Chains A and B, each alone.
Chain A
Amino acid sequence: MSPSPSPDHLRQWLREQCADCLGVPPESLATDIPLTDYGMTSVTGTALCGMVEDHLDVECDLGLLWQEQTIDAITSRLASRAER
């Protein structure tokens, strides 16, 4: 992944990773609904953090996921971290 992907790309990439973690098709995930509504837990959330860290080279922890909750909000936070 390029060092600073566009927010739209990042959002779509994140949606795919979330879908992969949760074992559902990406199109079934709305980006403005909390991921915990789709069954995300500390286990699947930690897996997602690992993927984000490996691919974007930014730090990501469960605190961020619980705070931001939705794919949209997480995208914004990660985009601002990636720019720094």
Chain B
Amino acid sequence: MEPVNGVGAAEDVLAGPHLVAAISATAESDPERKAVGLVRDPEHEGEEALRSYSWLDGRARRIAVLLRRAGLGAGSRVLLLFPQSAEFAAAYAGCLYGGMVAVPAPLPTGTSLETTRVAGIARDADAGAVLTVSDTEAEVRQWAAGAGLDDLPLLSVDELPDDAEPEQWRRPEIRADTVAVLQYTSGSTGDPKGVVVTHGALADNVRSLLSGFGLGAAPRLGGWLPMYHDMGLFGLLSPALFSGGAAVLMSGGAFLRRPHLWLVLIDRFGLTFSAAPDFAYNYCVRRVKPEQIDRLDLSRWRWAANGSEPIRAGTLRAFTKEFAPAGLPPDAMTPCYGLAEATLLVSLSTGEPRTRRVDAAELENHRFVEAAAGHPAREVVSCGRPPALEVSVVDPVTGEPVSGVAVGEIRVRGASVAAGYWRKPEATAETFAVAEDGSGPWLRTGDLGILYEGELYVTGRTKELLIVHGRNIYPHDVEHGLRVHHGELGMTGAVFTVPAEEGEAVVVTHEVAPSVQGDRCTELVTAMRATLAREFGLAPVGVVLVRRGGIPRTSSGKVQRRLAARLFRAGELLRVHADPGAHRLMAAFREGDPLRGASAPTA
């Protein structure tokens, strides 16, 4: 493979062919230019909250020197456990400056699930060191000790020893196929899957994002998405640093507490691009007060990218209308489709958002047919035309292309498709499939959709995955977590989604011991809901307790969640107890209209 050095044309939107070259080039040509910063109070802080390219480059060099000194060689994996901060950017760049592989993960200080998950990531990646900041070092040490990982070198990047000189750094050889990042948004807790993102794929995806959105020279991007999330790392930070622009960040917690501060950040720091999952836009509509809107100027916010969970047409309209008085351009709201397995961006919709009202019953049968008046309909949002990647829609079973109004599995091919799952040849072969004619690899996204009049519409998923507030949650993890916390539950549960107004509703079903009856069922469901909220951030629309043996399984014991969902909808699950939400859903299905009376809780 050709080295990446040399790919970039003179008018390239990237400041260098790979991120290391890009950052160091900007640091050399314009050292004081702002690169990245965490803003805690956007109403009062200004440019001083942002660090320069010279700071970033210097830090990255020193981190690379220290990692080498700790015995890590090119290609070693480095776990990044950070609160939202400029220091994360330094650590990310530092790994790449060292020719190493960045493995971002959430701080393992939250739920027990998260703690376990991050330990699984550290092991799967075979990490050789951990980077954090002094604020969280004690917690990270405690986690490492608990996880049996305390022999890993741990470094706080805001307190680097003085003897690591930036001048000692030697630029590593970086080729298009050199691995840059392992992105762990896929895989359950017990079976984490690291998406292998190479420098070539990263550069290609960032280029398609910058040019697809027309972000121009040195754009300002930012928001509250965490940097261990693919949309945060590849959708905000990487495009900013690649193009000599700036990433202006705030924490996710700050956004949830005071959502208007996200919009203040965009206004005061002149961000032209920010991205978030659908729920966040809906949340702003519900939570930001008129007097707060009065003080906002959102006229410079050219792109409000909406992605990483199903996009609701209602959200697009409500957000555009609510913030129009603050100057939000009518076409700012931009539905996007992407996934970590394609590095990030696959498709985006330019211009004012377009939607189609399709027949709900036909859609259940995988046909995309405009709804006749009076028929139950679902409004599906266009994700536009893919700017760089090739997209095809195929029969999920045969892999044959589908045509006409048929909905099928979305497959994606091109330079930013990831190199597979880290050290998982079987899962890689399954997901990154070579087509019958030997072409490929085609990424099987596990998402269902259609190319309709040239535009991509995503309608559902073949994979058994829950997407909650932009996070991927695996049913197996939820079912297992419930059993860990509630001994009265039986051996098997099934968590699935059913169609609901503007999307889907999560239903939790689980077998229960015969001794649990009457009021104890109600108490158990209450306790289960508390666990689901605390451990998974999940508020299912319905919870059902079923008799032992009532959850369908294959002869080899695999839970049949799809079948369980069908039984639930037909009212045929052998239930011991169903909570009011489950009863409402079942009543709606009995009446034959799945889209009436089954609204999922929002935000």
Q: What string of 1s and 0s marks CB contacts (under 8 Å) between B321-345 and chain A?
A: 0000000000000000000000000
CB neighbours (8 Å) of B286 from chain A are 23
Residue contact B256 to A36, C-beta cutoff 8 Å: no
Identify the 7 closest CB pairs spanning chains A and B, nearest first.
A50-B257, A39-B539, A46-B256, A39-B601, A36-B533, A42-B537, A36-B530
A49 to B258, CA, bound (A): 10
CB neighbours (8 Å) of B279 from chain A are 43
In the complex with contacts A46-B257, A49-B257, A53-B257, A37-B603 CB distance below 8 A: no
Interface residues of B in 512-551 (CB under 8 A from A): 526, 529-530, 532-534, 537-539
In the complex with contacts A36-B539, A39-B539, A47-B287 CB distance below 8 A: yes
Is A13 in contact with chain B by the CB < 8 A criterion? no
Is B172 in contact with chain A by the CB < 8 A criterion? no
Interface residues of A in 41-84 (CB under 8 A from B): 41-47, 49-50, 53-54, 62, 66, 69
CB neighbours (8 Å) of B469 from chain A are 43
CB neighbours (8 Å) of B526 from chain A are 33-34, 36-37
What are 14 of the A-B contact pairs (CB < 8 Å)?
A23-B286, A23-B601, A34-B526, A36-B534, A36-B539, A39-B539, A40-B539, A42-B533, A43-B279, A44-B539, A47-B259, A50-B257, A53-B257, A54-B258
CB neighbours (8 Å) of B537 from chain A are 41-43
A34 to B532, CA, bound (A): 13
Is B554 in contact with chain A by the CB < 8 A criterion? no
A83 to B533, CA, bound (A): 30
Is A22 in contact with chain B by the CB < 8 A criterion? yes
Is B253 in contact with chain A by the CB < 8 A criterion? yes
A79 to chain B, nearest CB (A): 21
Contact among A23, A45, A50, A54 for B602, CB-based, below 8 A: A23
A66: nearest chain-B partner, CB-CB: B534
Residue contact A50 to B530, C-beta cutoff 8 Å: no
Residue from the set A23, A39, A69 with the largest chain B CB neighbour count within 10 Å: A39
In the complex with contacts A41-B537, A43-B603, A36-B532 CB distance below 8 A: yes
Q: How many residues of B contact A (CB 8 A)?
A: 22
CB neighbours (8 Å) of A40 from chain B are 533, 539
CB neighbours (8 Å) of A33 from chain B are 526
B72 to chain A, nearest CB (A): 35
Residue contact B534 to A42, C-beta cutoff 8 Å: yes
Q: How many residues of A contact B (CB 8 A)?
A: 22
B401 to chain A, nearest CB (A): 39
A30 to chain B, nearest CB (A): 12
A37 to B543, CA, bound (A): 10
Known A37-B529, A49-B257, A66-B534; further 5 A-B contacts with Cβ < 8 A: A36-B534, A39-B601, A43-B279, A46-B256, A53-B257
Residue contact B533 to A50, C-beta cutoff 8 Å: no
CB neighbours (8 Å) of B256 from chain A are 43, 46-47, 50
A37 to B259, CA, bound (A): 25
A44 to chain B, nearest CB (A): 6
Binding site for A on B (CB under 8 A): 253, 256-259, 279, 283, 286-287, 469, 526, 529-530, 532-534, 537-539, 601-603
A63: nearest chain-B partner, CB-CB: B534
A51: nearest chain-B partner, CB-CB: B257
A66 to chain B, nearest CB (A): 5
A66 to B537, CA, bound (A): 12
CB neighbours (8 Å) of B603 from chain A are 23, 43-44, 47
CB neighbours (8 Å) of B534 from chain A are 36, 42, 62, 66
A42 to B601, CA, bound (A): 13
A65 to chain B, nearest CB (A): 9
B143 to chain A, nearest CB (A): 17
B581: nearest chain-A partner, CB-CB: A39
CB neighbours (8 Å) of A46 from chain B are 253, 256-257
A47 to B266, CA, bound (A): 20
Residue contact A34 to B530, C-beta cutoff 8 Å: yes
A62 to B110, CA, bound (A): 10
Residue from the set A23, A41, A53, A62 with the largest chain B CB neighbour count within 10 Å: A41
CB neighbours (8 Å) of A53 from chain B are 257
B531: nearest chain-A partner, CB-CB: A36
A69 to B523, CA, bound (A): 13
Residue contact A69 to B530, C-beta cutoff 8 Å: yes
CB neighbours (8 Å) of B529 from chain A are 34, 36-37
Residue contact A50 to B258, C-beta cutoff 8 Å: yes
CB neighbours (8 Å) of B538 from chain A are 41
CB neighbours (8 Å) of B532 from chain A are 36
A33 to B603, CA, bound (A): 20
B286: nearest chain-A partner, CB-CB: A23
B174 to chain A, nearest CB (A): 39
B76 to chain A, nearest CB (A): 34
A23 to chain B, nearest CB (A): 6
A40 to B259, CA, bound (A): 17
